[in-house]
Amino acid sequence: MAKCLVAQSGGPTSVINATVAGVVKANQLNPVYDTVLGGLHGIEGILDEKFYDLTNMSDDENRVLRQSPSSALGSCRYKLKRENVADFEKLFAILKKHDIRTVFYTGGNDSMDTVAALDEYAKANNITGHQFVGCPKTVDNDLMVMDHAPGFASAAKFIATTALQTWTDSTVYTRQDVFILETMGRDAGWLAASSCVSGIVDVLVLPEHPFEKEAFLAAVKKHVDAKNKCYIVVSEGVHYADGTYLAAGESKNDTFGHAVLGGAGNAIKEMILEAGISERAKVQDLSNAQRSHATEQSKVDVEESFQLGMSAHMRSIDPSFTGMTVYVTRVEGDKYDVTYGATASSNIANHVRHFPEEWILPNFEGISKEAHAYFEPLLVGQPEIMYDEKGLPRQVKPYYMR
Amino acid sequence: MAKCLVAQSGGPTSVINATVAGVVKANQLNPVYDTVLGGLHGIEGILDEKFYDLTNMSDDENRVLRQSPSSALGSCRYKLKRENVADFEKLFAILKKHDIRTVFYTGGNDSMDTVAALDEYAKANNITGHQFVGCPKTVDNDLMVMDHAPGFASAAKFIATTALQTWTDSTVYTRQDVFILETMGRDAGWLAASSCVSGIVDVLVLPEHPFEKEAFLAAVKKHVDAKNKCYIVVSEGVHYADGTYLAAGESKNDTFGHAVLGGAGNAIKEMILEAGISERAKVQDLSNAQRSHATEQSKVDVEESFQLGMSAHMRSIDPSFTGMTVYVTRVEGDKYDVTYGATASSNIANHVRHFPEEWILPNFEGISKEAHAYFEPLLVGQPEIMYDEKGLPRQVKPYYMR
């Protein structure tokens, strides 16, 4: 018997830990590996041999782990580059030294490329006895092949809920009010678009279309003129036709030159005020809360993420299962249902799945019926969250802090 | 039999509607008034005779109303000034015309002053047959007399939860990271201080102390040097000894001169970067979400707010009960319990209750044990939230939109 290792990479989500919990639970149900190691801080920590033994995790901890946001094993932005052969040599030596047969790696595009690269390296150098399995996650929902990426639905649920609530808040006065909600999504507009599930979004600005200032201001003006209010949702990655981000464009004049200060939300706020369309505009940037607000996980999302971890473990019993990414896809039919599949990690690596062009309504008017039908089943259901005696959600202590 | 009227004023909270629900329910249990009118947009709408009949609200709607954030009756910033006699004359004429005996008015300091002013006017002009009853609410928790203000505990629960979650998110990388959470609280630091319930706040900046930049930067540096991370919570109202807000000070150089752009969080971010204490700093401004995130109401808060509405209605059976504000106060003892009291609205109007000096630890180190003991019972318990078929929380359609 050998060991397996599970590690996390890229930006955290509120359900990425559920996939780790799934791997651990599957190995308790069928102990294919004598040890389940958690690799701390992704590839970065594995290269430093920083592990935490997860094998005998209690069921209570497993449940708390599923409702713990962020990456309990720590994360990294370290990119394993194919030309950097020393990294590969070191990593395979560490796997051999610790008798690690299978590496489960959770992450987005870059992480799936890491899985593909490790598999390629092993094959090119006739190294056998190791398997690399990708478990996708990203709040951005921009991964190819799968219907949706674990982590997205919970972020979308928080965004749509917060849109509904802040809209309700922003309409209470008789005065003129423009409210701007900024979501994550540098390249793809899935998160911003999901806000439309709330049914209250007046103007939706996605990164899939080059930003046209005049058309945008006209759309805002239409709503302000009609009802003295306008609720706008904008994706952080919105940019002009030449690729310049709105955020970057507007914060040029900042005293210290930090382009981060503004944000797309503040940029369009300034445009609206400058154009005299409204006297007031308020911005809420959902920032990190949208990917870590695990107290409002989507039940669909947390269950699928957990089962994805189990599926990855169970499929790894086949020694030829390597360089593969497991994923969730939707079954056609009236009622929402999914199946779990697997594809070569290279099919996912380094691609971006944009929000579909045909789902975008013209003139910033939001999303089509088909898009609504896509989103809605993903947000349904709330897991039963366990709270501590102070009224706060129970979370595992991060393994990288133990 | 006469009518009563309930209206809302000031900034919304996530439980202010529960007080309205309490008034309506109490009148169903004991129909002292033949009609319960909702006054739309506070005093502003009452002066326009904009009412919505709430008398026969269904129990389902009453329950949904309790979990609906913001002010379902609309709000106003209109201040009834004593010298503006025409407003008073008009208002009393409207009350007479519609046979309105009792006005229940929910709000903060200003709204309690409105209640006091209406009572004074009636007494000074020998107008009888009307009662004015204040129902306090404010996320800021800065109202005198009472132990805590309805609305505060739910906002505090959201803030402490989000602090815990975003801290978890902000520590996953091995790199240097400073995270800054900005809360509401222009004059009082209750909301910012409540984040400390999470147990993860490194540096707490309250408006109760004039801001000292060098001492603040030293506190941040201590944490960054020790562990490469620092989690900071700052109240929007933090200011220098001369009264200048941090936000205002730092956004002076903004292209369009909008002082709102910066915010205290961005101001201290710039200080930290400029001082070279950290290479990275991220700001999350909780903005309107902190007062409208009703999906995570504190159960204590929503129940107390509902019962406060009932208490106000029940006490109003006594015709001499006018110019009074009902409130919740804590009973001394090991287990959290409250009683409901009433005080002259003038005792609450136009005062600010600051976060107690003796609860503030030196050097931005957070709050004392006594402060923790104060906060913790307030955050306990989650009401059972009802969701719609899309996975979003059910809310009433605002009455001012019907």
Question: How does pLDDT run across B245-292, given as a tens digit for each residue?
Answer: 998 754 443 333 334 435 899 999 999 999 999 999 999 999 999 999
Kindly give, in sequence order, each residue whose CB lies less than 8 Å from that of residue A384, ignoring residues fewer than 6 positions away.
Answer: none
Give the tokens for residue A375.
């989103």
The strand pair at B338-344 and B324-330 is best described as antiparallel
Q: What amino acid is encoded at A372 in this protein?
A: H
User: Tell me, what's the pLDDT at A262?
Assistant: 57
Element at A39 (helix H, strand E): strand A35-39
Distance separating alpha carbons of residues A110 and B380, to the nearest angstrom: 41
pLDDT digits (tens, 9 = 90+) for A281-303: 999 999 999 999 999 999 999 99
Percent of chain B at pLDDT exceeding 90: 92
Q: Is the pLDDT of residue A273 over 50?
A: yes
Give the tokens for residue B63.
């329950």
Distance separating alpha carbons of residues A283 and A251, to the nearest angstrom: 15
Q: Give the residue-averaged pLDDT of A373-391.
A: 95
**Chain A residue at shortest CA distance from B390:** A376
Report CB contact under 8 Å: B166, A44.
no
Q: What angle do CA B75, B135, B29 make, to 5 degrees?
A: 105
User: Other C-beta atoms within 10 Å of B205: how many?
Assistant: 23
Full set of structural domains in chain A with CATH: 3-138+294-350 (3.40.50.450), 152-292 (3.40.50.460)
Taking the CA atoms of residue B51, residue B57, residue B60 and residue B65 in that order, the dihedral angle to the nearest 10 degrees is 30
pLDDT digits (tens, 9 = 90+) for B227-240: 999 999 999 999 99
User: Tell me, what's the pLDDT at A254?
Assistant: 36
Q: Which of A173, A273, A294 sits opposite B76 (nearest CB)?
A: A173
Report CB contact under 8 Å: B172, A382.
no
Distance separating alpha carbons of residues A290 and B73, to the nearest angstrom: 29
Report CB contact under 8 Å: B256, A266.
no
Q: With helix as H, strand as E and coil as C, how does B149-216 read? A: CCCHHHHHHHHHHHHHHHHHHHCCCCCCEEEEEEECCCCCCHHHHHHHHHCCCCEEECCCCCCCHHHH
ipTM: 0.95
Chain B partners within 8 Å of A172 (Cβ)? 12, 41, 70-71, 74-75, 398, 400
Kindly give, in sequence order, each residue whose CB lies less than 8 Å from that of residue B42, ignoring residues fewer than 6 positions away.
Answer: B7, B8, B9, B73, B74, B75, B76, B78, B105, B107, B111
Q: Give the residue-averaged pLDDT of B365-386.
A: 96
Distance separating alpha carbons of residues A130 and A43, to the nearest angstrom: 16
The mean predicted confidence, pLDDT, of chain B is 94
Distance separating alpha carbons of residues B153 and B377, to the nearest angstrom: 9
Note the helical H segments in A195-321.
Answer: 213-227, 246-250, 263-274, 289-292, 299-315
Kindly give, in sequence order, each residue whose CB lies less than 8 Å from that of residue A337, ignoring residues fewer than 6 positions away.
Answer: A330, A331
Q: Whose CA is closest to B137, among B249, B267, B297?
A: B297
Q: Give the residue-averaged pLDDT of B71-82.
A: 93
Report CB contact under 8 Å: B170, A381.
no
Q: Which of B253, B256, B298 sits opposite A391 (nearest CB)?
A: B298
User: Tell me, what's the pLDDT at B262?
Assistant: 57
Q: Residue for token digits 């919990």?
A: A21
Element at A104 (helix H, strand E): strand A100-107
pLDDT digits (tens, 9 = 90+) for A96-153: 999 999 999 999 999 999 999 999 999 999 999 999 999 999 999 999 999 999 999 9
Q: Which of B75, B169, B266 sits opposite A261 (nearest CB)?
A: B266
**Chain A residue at shortest CA distance from B293:** A165
The strand pair at B35-39 and B51-53 is best described as antiparallel
Q: Residue for token digits 């939001």?
A: A366
The strand pair at A177-183 and A281-285 is best described as parallel
Note the helical H segments in A30-170.
Answer: 42-46, 59-66, 85-97, 109-124, 152-170
| Shortest distance, CA B356 to any CA of chain A (angstroms) | 21
| Shortest distance, CA A141 to any CA of chain B (angstroms) | 19
Any catalytic annotation for residue B202?
Answer: no
Q: For an interface test with B, which of A13, A174, A231, A266 has the most B Cβ atoms less than 10 Å from its Cβ?
A: A174
Please give the full DSSP string across A359-400, using - where no structure is assigned: GBPGGG--B-HHHHHHHGGGG-------B-TTSSB--PPPGG
Chain A partners within 8 Å of B261 (Cβ)? 266, 269-270
Q: Which of B70, B174, B266 sits opposite A41 (nearest CB)?
A: B174
Q: Is the pLDDT of residue B338 over 70?
A: yes
Q: Whose CA is closest to A287, among B169, B233, B175, B263?
A: B169
Element at A194 (helix H, strand E): helix A190-194
Q: Give the residue-averaged pLDDT of B115-131.
A: 97
Are B340 and B307 a contacting pair, CB within 8 Å? yes
A134 SS3 class:
strand
Q: Is the pLDDT of residue B122 over 50?
A: yes
Q: With helix as H, strand as E and coil as C, how does chain B read? A: CCEEEEEECCCCCCCHHHHHHHHHHHHHHCCCCCEEEEECCHHHHHCCCCEEECCCCCHHHHHHHHCCCCCCCCCCCCCCCCCCHHHHHHHHHHHHHCCEEEEEEEECHHHHHHHHHHHHHHHHCCCCCCEEEEEECCCCCCCCCCCCCCCHHHHHHHHHHHHHHHHHHHCCCCCCEEEEEEECCCCCCHHHHHHHHHCCCCEEECCCCCCCHHHHHHHHHHHHHHHCEEEEEEECCCECCCCCEHHHHHCCCCCCCCCCCCHHHHHHHHHHHHCCCCCCEEEEECCCHHHHCHHHCCHHHHHHHHHHHHHHHHHCCCCCCCCEEEEEEECCCCCCCEEEEEEEHHHCCCCCCCCCHHHECCCCCCECHHHHHHHHHHHCCCCCCCECCCCCECCCCCHHHC
A3 SS3 class:
strand
Q: Residue for token digits 């958690």?
A: A38
Kindly give, in sequence order, each residue whose CB lies less than 8 Å from that of residue A363, ignoring residues fewer than 6 positions away.
Answer: A215, A219
Q: With helix as H, strand as E and coil as C, how does B313-338 read? A: HHHCCCCCCCCEEEEEEECCCCCCCE
User: Tell me, what's the pLDDT at A252?
Assistant: 41
| Shortest distance, CA B331 to any CA of chain A (angstroms) | 19
Q: Is the pLDDT of residue A251 over 70?
A: no
Q: Whose CA is closest to B202, among B172, B238, B170, B229?
A: B229
Element at A26 (helix H, strand E): helix A16-29
Report CB contact under 8 Å: B266, A266.
no
Q: Give the residue-averaged pLDDT of B151-158.
A: 98
Q: Give the residue-averaged pLDDT of A154-182.
A: 97
Give the tokens for residue B131.
């009662």
Distance separating alpha carbons of residues B307 and B348, to the nearest angstrom: 20
Distance separating alpha carbons of residues A307 and A187, to the nearest angstrom: 28
Q: Which of B165, B270, B393 sits opposite A161 (nearest CB)?
A: B393
Q: Whose CA is closest to A60, among A16, A108, A21?
A: A21
Note the helical H segments in A80-143.
Answer: 85-97, 109-124
Chain A partners within 8 Å of B253 (Cβ)? 253-255
pLDDT digits (tens, 9 = 90+) for A233-249: 999 999 999 999 998 75
